Chain A
Amino acid sequence: MTTMIPAPALLSQANAAAATEAPEALRAERAAGAKEFAAVGLPTTKVEDWHYTSVSSIADATFAPMSGNASGVTAEQLAPYIFSTSWPTLVFVNGVYAPSLSQTTLLPAGIRVMPLAHAVTELGDVVARQLGATAPATRDGFTALNASFLGEGAVIHVAKEMVVDIPVHLLFVVNNAGVGGMQHPRVLVLAERHSKATLIESWVGLTDGAYFTNTVSEVTVEDGATLHHLKVQREGRGAFHVGTIEARQGRDSHYVSFAFATGGQLTRTNVYTVLDGEGCGTTLNGLTMLDGSQHGDVQTRIEHAQPKCFSRQMYKSILDEMSHGVFNGKVFVQSIAQQTDGKQTNNTMLLSRTAQVDAKPQLEIFADDVKCTHGATVGRIDESALFYMKSRGIDNETSRQLLTYAFAADVLETIENETIRDELERITMRRFTSVAD
């Protein structure tokens, strides 16, 4: 059984990247990444977690590391993707931090946000602590590849007991100058004990050309802290996107993730967390909307490693035309993790006969006093609701659009920040309806 695609072009690029001059803080991890990638390569569909998603097209293509040419991108072009101009925003264009497009003067007290390149000197202790801590280079081929290219990305540090109401936004943009390129950003997040903050990662393509994003975010949520972490994936229609978020949570912490995914031709979103302190909890929600021949794969993994923790998952997909959606939700409950309370729901709406979904809940429970439920549904537009709306004079097209939007509405309503929620509701509404509000 072949479980590995060697991807020699990527391997030589990874080796070259790992061998170039790098800050001391990143050197060891780069070397570890290149070494691991040589050993594991990219996964074939024989690997269980990749059964429904073939990445051979990534291995077969040749992508050059992105050079960061930001000259063609204006603030005006980015305006539709900026949730609020009064939020601290780091903008990365074609793989490289673009200070002139970023907004860093509005940082509230208690939080530090900076590109990884600055952080290696200014937040050296945080980098040392976080890098490779939740997503070690040995995790898998994509994380190893990301490690070997370490250099770009961001570091967010929320000091203990600081409650930060203003979200921080990381916006990664690729335009025509990035076509044929690849980026491997690393985001490190440390929310210290009893802090509270909101972070948005946005992935935006201003081009329909092919490029490859391979990103890793490492998150630590310390005791009693709450972190809201939203990923808004609006990559270009030609993009390949593999993104991994790995969190580790302390006692009584709450990690709240929302993964919104509409872009790319082939995308994979991994959201993993380890509930590593008693009484902590996680809420992992998401909405995927695909059409054309898009392929979008969402994988979650929740590891209940301590007692009395809760996990909540709600993922919805709306699939049109010939798109293919995948959801695989894993919940592991270790033997020590008694009184675990886990719930997972996954609902898919198919808008066409040719759209396809593969949904797989996967529960592995080694403790005996637990409550874990899961449920998956796949459906189409409710014909009785459709007739009801039409019988009130609402035309067929608008009725279908409203019902499609309505399917997504409850998961979007879980987003706590009103500005983000309104904006994602608007994006969803626009995608399925001609109605402006």
Chain B
Amino acid sequence: MLEIRDLHAAVDGTPILKGISLTVNAGEVHAVMGPNGSGKSTLAQVLAGHPAYEITSGDILYQGENLAEMDAEVRAQQGVFLAFQYPVEIPGVSNAYFLRAAYNAKRKAQGLDEVDPMEFLDFVEAQLTLVDMDPAMLHRSVNAGFSGGEKKRNEILQMAVLTPTLAILDETDSGLDIDALRIVANGVNVLKRPDNAAIVVTHYQRLLNYIVPDFVHVLAGGRIVKSGGKELALELEARGYDWLLEAVA
């Protein structure tokens, strides 16, 4: 589904990713861990198509196509979804309107008819239980005045509505209390299918108690310095990152 080959990326001319290779197959959950500044979030942003990041060399193949050549909105329409570390507030645009615009954009790209507001409301209200969200939140402006946990749950709601093929969760666990973490993780687990995949970017092992990865990769200095199974996350939890950084230094 996703094949990253020797990816180098820079922001404002400063290299951040320095040769990342990673293959993600359908049905897999990959955890990307690493200390602050290792390039985890950059990888997530590059995959989503953030214009601030420049791919300087390497390839990203998504379903056999060159992802780097697609605009952010095309990637989303093709099933790539980034759950933001810091979801953006958009005062003046209601959550319901935003979700429907996104949903219809994807349907349009698939050659399907757009759904009308009433039809969509029925559909989206059925998704709310997944993230334990009050229907009133649909009529508030996107993320405006939401608590940290509400924002993250709203990301998972968007994911539920858009049913991505490749979901990238960028530190979705940061700043969440245990209850919110459980809700978010449950949402991700329920949405998991044999034909989709997830990349879970996180600083802490805690999230991986709830979302069990098939593979764990440790990023440091813009490279993957170690890959392994889920037990690697536990080892990192016990030993920290330093032993790995020393080993590669």
Is residue B39 contacting chain A, with contact meaning CB distance below 8 A?
Answer: no
Partner of B48 from A382, A385, A391, A402 at Cβ < 8 Å = A391
The complex places the Cα of A382 from the Cα of B141 at a distance, in Å, of 15
Which residues of A from 329 to 369 have beta carbons under 8 Å from B? none
Q: Is the CB of B92 within 8 A of A405?
A: yes
Binds A, one of B18-26, B83-91, B128-136, B231-239: B83-91
Q: Is the CB of A406 within 8 A of B72?
A: no
Counting contact residues on chain B (CB < 8 A from A), the size range is: 20 to 34
How close is B228's CB to chain A, nearest CB, in angstroms?
A: 30
Is residue A378 contacting chain B, with contact meaning CB distance below 8 A?
Answer: no
Binds B, one of A82-90, A210-218, A407-415: A407-415
Which residues of A from 366 to 404 have beta carbons under 8 Å from B? 382, 384-385, 387-396, 398-399, 402-403
Is residue A48 contacting chain B, with contact meaning CB distance below 8 A?
Answer: no
User: Knowing A392-B158, A393-B102, A405-B92 touch, does A387 contact B50 (C-beta < 8 A)?
Assistant: yes
Which chain B positions have C-beta within 8 A of A435?
Answer: 101
Task: Identify the closest chain B residue to A383 (Cβ).
Answer: B51
Which chain B positions have C-beta within 8 A of A388?
Answer: 84, 87-88, 90
Is residue B214 contacting chain A, with contact meaning CB distance below 8 A?
Answer: no
Is residue B105 contacting chain A, with contact meaning CB distance below 8 A?
Answer: yes
Task: Identify the closest chain B residue to A407 (Cβ).
Answer: B92
The complex places the Cα of A388 from the Cα of B73 at a distance, in Å, of 10
User: Knowing A393-B77, A394-B101 touch, does A385 contact B88 (C-beta < 8 A)?
Assistant: yes
Task: Identify the closest chain B residue to A411 (Cβ).
Answer: B92
Interface residue total, chain A, C-beta cutoff 8 A: 25
Task: Identify the closest chain A residue to B51 (Cβ).
Answer: A387
Task: Identify the closest chain B residue to A406 (Cβ).
Answer: B92
Which chain B positions have C-beta within 8 A of A394?
Answer: 73, 98, 101-102, 105
Is residue B195 contacting chain A, with contact meaning CB distance below 8 A?
Answer: no
How close is B160's CB to chain A, nearest CB, in angstroms?
A: 13
Partner of B72 from A390, A398, A402, A437 at Cβ < 8 Å = A390
Q: Is the CB of B88 within 8 A of A393?
A: no
Is residue B109 contacting chain A, with contact meaning CB distance below 8 A?
Answer: yes
Which chain B positions have C-beta within 8 A of A390?
Answer: 49, 71-73, 76
Q: Is the CB of B71 within 8 A of A389?
A: no
Is residue B93 contacting chain A, with contact meaning CB distance below 8 A?
Answer: yes
Task: Identify the closest chain A residue to B106 (Cβ).
Answer: A393
Which chain A positions have C-beta within 8 A of B48?
Answer: 391
Which chain A positions have C-beta within 8 A of B82?
Answer: 391
Q: Is the CB of B77 within 8 A of A385?
A: no
Is residue B117 contacting chain A, with contact meaning CB distance below 8 A?
Answer: yes
Is residue B162 contacting chain A, with contact meaning CB distance below 8 A?
Answer: yes
Q: Is the CB of B51 within 8 A of A392?
A: no
Which chain B positions have C-beta within 8 A of A398?
Answer: 101, 105
Q: Is the CB of B88 within 8 A of A384?
A: yes
Give the A-B pair count, Cβ closer than 8 A.
82
Task: Identify the closest chain A residue to B88 (Cβ).
Answer: A388
Which chain A positions have C-beta within 8 A of B158?
Answer: 392
User: Knowing A393-B102, A393-B109, A394-B102 touch, does A387 contact B92 (C-beta < 8 A)?
Assistant: no
Q: Is the CB of B105 within 8 A of A408?
A: no
User: Knowing A398-B101, A402-B101, A437-B117 touch, does A391 contact B90 (C-beta < 8 A)?
Assistant: no
The complex places the Cα of A385 from the Cα of B90 at a distance, in Å, of 7
Which chain A positions have C-beta within 8 A of B106?
Answer: 393
Q: Is the CB of A396 within 8 A of B71?
A: yes
The complex places the Cα of A396 from the Cα of B77 at a distance, in Å, of 13
Q: Digitize B102-126: 1 where CB-to-A-CB distance is under 8 Å, 0 elsewhere.
A: 1001100100000001000000000
Q: Is the CB of A389 within 8 A of B90?
A: yes
Q: Digitize B59-74: 1 where CB-to-A-CB distance is under 8 Å, 0 elsewhere.
A: 0000000000001110
Partner of B162 from A387, A393, A399, A410 at Cβ < 8 Å = A393
How close is A95's CB to chain B, nearest CB, in angstroms?
A: 38
Q: Is the CB of A389 within 8 A of B98?
A: yes
User: Knowing A398-B101, A402-B101 touch, does A391 contact B72 (C-beta < 8 A)?
Assistant: yes
Task: Identify the closest chain B residue to A397 (Cβ).
Answer: B73
Task: Identify the closest chain A residue to B102 (Cβ).
Answer: A392
The complex places the Cα of A406 from the Cα of B49 at a distance, in Å, of 24
Task: Identify the closest chain A residue to B103 (Cβ).
Answer: A393
The complex places the Cα of A126 from the Cα of B111 at a distance, in Å, of 64
How close is A159's CB to chain B, nearest CB, in angstroms?
A: 39
The complex places the Cα of A382 from the Cα of B92 at a distance, in Å, of 13
The complex places the Cα of A399 from the Cα of B98 at a distance, in Å, of 10
How close is B67's CB to chain A, nearest CB, in angstroms?
A: 13
Which chain A positions have C-beta within 8 A of B105?
Answer: 392-395, 398
Q: Is the CB of A387 within 8 A of B91?
A: no
User: Knowing A387-B51, A437-B117 touch, does A406 contact B71 (C-beta < 8 A)?
Assistant: no
Which chain B positions have C-beta within 8 A of A399?
Answer: 73
Partner of B49 from A384, A391, A408, A409 at Cβ < 8 Å = A391
Q: Which residues of A contact B (CB under 8 A)?
A: 382, 384-385, 387-396, 398-399, 402-403, 405-410, 435, 437
Q: A392-B102, A394-B101, A398-B101 are in contact. List 14 more A-B contacts (CB 8 A).
A: A385-B90, A389-B102, A390-B76, A391-B76, A391-B82, A392-B158, A393-B76, A396-B73, A402-B93, A405-B93, A406-B90, A406-B92, A410-B91, A435-B101
Q: Which residues of B contact A (CB under 8 A)?
A: 48-51, 71-73, 75-77, 81-82, 84, 87-93, 97-98, 101-102, 105-106, 109, 117, 141, 158, 162
Chain A to chain B contacts (Cβ below 8 Å), 21 pairs: A387-B72, A387-B88, A388-B88, A389-B98, A391-B76, A391-B84, A392-B76, A392-B98, A392-B101, A392-B105, A392-B162, A393-B73, A394-B102, A395-B105, A396-B71, A398-B105, A402-B97, A405-B92, A405-B93, A409-B91, A410-B91
